[in-house]
Chains A and B, each alone.
Chain A
């Protein structure tokens, strides 16, 4: 039972490049979430998925897209990365979002 896993752990992109952050959970949770964490700003919700096949915007969705591939997997895509998207990204799952993945540290140059 791995809980919530994320890949990659670290990534450096150039402005304008695209990438997908992967998240998977093996706890059979319906709900999954993507947060970003910036210094002094806590965690902010980007997108969430209340159940397989549904996604919805959170507080800071601009510049991101998501896909709920199946019940286990929820991916976050940056189509054209910007320096303002430099952050640590956390995926979470459970009915109330309390289980977090290990995070992806993304730097956009």
Chain B
């Protein structure tokens, strides 16, 4: 089955700096790659996603890049703010357009210091 590795496990940055979280996946058939943000005691919330036919996607301060050849994808957060502090999860899915089974990475604890 699919295996997703996520690095780093913890990331500490100063407010205003950029943060980058990287994930690799094993199944070349994976075609959907979402990123989730989870605050302490809350549910995971989808923040951005990318499909395999696109190399990069941006939404304000966050962006995701995908390298299908190398089977890795990354989350980039620019101009970080204290409220960006949370656990971030990447995931990969080999499901088709009708449903998906997500395999998650282990998570990255991001801390943004004021």
Chain A residues with Cβ below 8 Å from B45 are 100
Q: Mark B76-92, 1 if CB is under 8 A from A, else 0.
A: 00000000000001010
Indicate which residue in A30, A42, A102, A103 contacts B98 across the interface (CB closer than 8 Å).
Answer: A30
Q: Is B25 an interface residue (CB 8 A)?
A: no
Q: How many chain A residues have a CB neighbour from B under 8 Å?
A: 24
Q: How many chain B residues have a CB neighbour from A under 8 Å?
A: 26
Indicate which residue in A30, A41, A59 contacts B99 across the interface (CB closer than 8 Å).
Answer: A30
B residues with CB within 8 A of A? 1, 6, 9, 32, 34, 42-46, 49, 89, 91, 93, 95, 97-107
- Listed by A's residue number, 9 A-B pairs whose Cβ atoms lie within 8 Å are A31-B100, A42-B104, A42-B107, A43-B102, A50-B99, A90-B43, A95-B100, A99-B46, A101-B43
A residues with CB within 8 A of B? 30-31, 33, 40-45, 48, 50-51, 58-59, 90, 95-103
